[in-house]
Amino acid sequence: MFILPVHRTATWLLLAAVGLVAVSAVAIYARDELGITRVAGVTYLQILRIDREVNNLPSWYSSSLLLIGGLSIAAIGARVPVRGLRMRWCALAALLVVMSIDESVRLHERLDSLVSNIVGLRMPWFVPAGILVMALLTATRDVWRTVSGGDRRRFAQGAAVFAAGSVGVEVIYKLVAPEAESLLHYALVHVEEGVEMCGVALLLRAAWLTMAPDGRLAFSIGHDEPVPSTVRSDSTRR
């Protein structure tokens, strides 16, 4: 059996997010100010730069966090005895998995053209995406009654931090720093991605504490021993 220390792991995930943002900033500074683009003859900037769309370490890390988040949410849903509520948890898990895929291939940045072609109206990607997410959250609102008040607060905190980065900061830099090579643009992109990753790390912490309120999440391989669940069914709501 493997025991995951939830609080310590979440702290390391947050530190890793901050570290990736810092390394990306140093890599861009090395290129723009010092003229360094290669180490031992190998170009390294593309894999470190957080402002590149794909094929970089920060995007891989963020995508991995979202995927683990989706699997963690699905694990919570698997413990819910009521089928309807279990399917709603799975819908939330699917949302995070889709967001993980999007983080790797940047589907949301192509929504602008898609919406423009369909409805003939130019609008930022986060408008239709926000409508879809709010519709899903409204349809799955009953799942939050199956967890404790503390769990709900932790999920809300993580979601708020993630939304602040993915939507809030992006709106700001699209308004005040649209130039791709400006210093302010680079700074806001780094803030956006860093806040997003921290938000997902907090969501992971919330999911893991929902499954293990004592902060010690146990994994067992090759055993069918029941794992105590803290998720309430529909009949035990308060």
233 located within any domain: no
Number of domains in the chain: 1
How much is the average pLDDT of 64-88? 91
235 located within any domain: no
194 band by pLDDT with thresholds 50, 70 and 90: very high
- Boundaries of domain holding 26: 2-222
How many angstroms separate the first and last alpha carbons of the chain?
Answer: 33
236 located within any domain: no
Per the CB < 8 A criterion, the answer to whether 96 and 69 are in contact is: yes
What is the C-alpha radius of gyration for the chain, rounded to an integer number of angstroms? 20
195 located within any domain: yes
80 located within any domain: yes
Which amino acid, 35? G
Helix axes 57-78, 6-32, angle to 10 degrees: 160
228 located within any domain: no
Q: What pLDDT, on a 0 to 100 scale, did the predictor assign at position 83?
A: 86
Q: What pLDDT, on a 0 to 100 scale, did the predictor assign at position 27?
A: 81
In 10 A of CB 109, how many CB atoms?
11
231 located within any domain: no
48 band by pLDDT with thresholds 50, 70 and 90: confident
pTM confidence score:
0.81
238 located within any domain: no
Higher local confidence (pLDDT), 104 or 58:
58
Q: What pLDDT, on a 0 to 100 scale, did the predictor assign at position 199?
A: 95
How much is the average pLDDT of 166-193? 77
Task: Assess whether pLDDT exceeds 60 at residue 29.
Answer: yes
Task: Assess whether pLDDT exceeds 60 at residue 227.
Answer: no
Higher local confidence (pLDDT), 100 or 132:
100
